[in-house]
Every structure is written in C-alpha cells, then in structure tokens.
Amino acid sequence: MKSSDDATNSDSMRSQGASRALSLGINVVAGVGLFTFLGYSIDKHIGGGILWTLLGFVLGVLYMVYEFWKVILLLNKKPDNDKGFDVNDKRTG
C-alpha cells in the first residue's frame, strides 16, 4: 500500500510533467507562429512572393527542434546524487 508521501510525490511529479509539456507546447506554437508572422510581415512590406514567409517558417521549425532538444537533454540528465557512490553512506575513508 502506498503511503501519503508516495502519493503526494507522484502527484507532484505528474503535475511537474504536465507543466513542462504545456510550456513546451506554448513555446513551439508561439515560436513557429511568431517567426512565420514576421516573415509574412516582411513579405507584405517588401513584396516579392512568399520567400520571407517560408524563411520565417523554417526558422520557427528550427526553434521547435531546439526546444525539443532541450527537453530531451533534461529528461536524460542524471540526478545530482548519482555519482557512483551512496550519498547516505556514513563511512569515511
């Protein structure tokens, strides 16, 4: 049977994961949208087709890849206390 501390810890981890997922989603949508909008605005101002819109979209996608890469690195990061020894070991040596 789970203790109340385990349940609280599990709820906290779930909430933290949901928060990170929401943050990632907002960053991706905002980044792609902003870069595409800036490209579109330049196209409207300068004229000449959709070159800047496409360039803005590509920059937005590159930003999205960067955001995903940061999350992947964070998920694969080892905990600070994983140094190859037991931090609770009271022996000195």
Taking each helix axis from N to C terminus, what angle separates 51-76 and 4-46, rounded to the nearest 10 degrees?
160
Range(s) of the domain holding residue 47: 30-76
Return the pLDDT at 7. 58
Segment 1-18 mean pLDDT: 65
What are the structure tokens assigned to 31, written together? 């980044």
Task: Give a yes or no: residue 11 inside a domain.
Answer: no
How many domains does one find in the chain? 1
pLDDT tens profile 38-56: 999 999 999 878 999 999 9
Return the pLDDT at 22. 87
- 0.75 cut: is pTM over it? no
Task: Give a yes or no: residue 84 inside a domain.
Answer: no
Q: How far apart (Å, rounded) are the C-alpha atoms in residues 13 and 22?
A: 14
Task: Give a yes or no: residue 66 inside a domain.
Answer: yes
Task: Give a yes or no: residue 1 inside a domain.
Answer: no
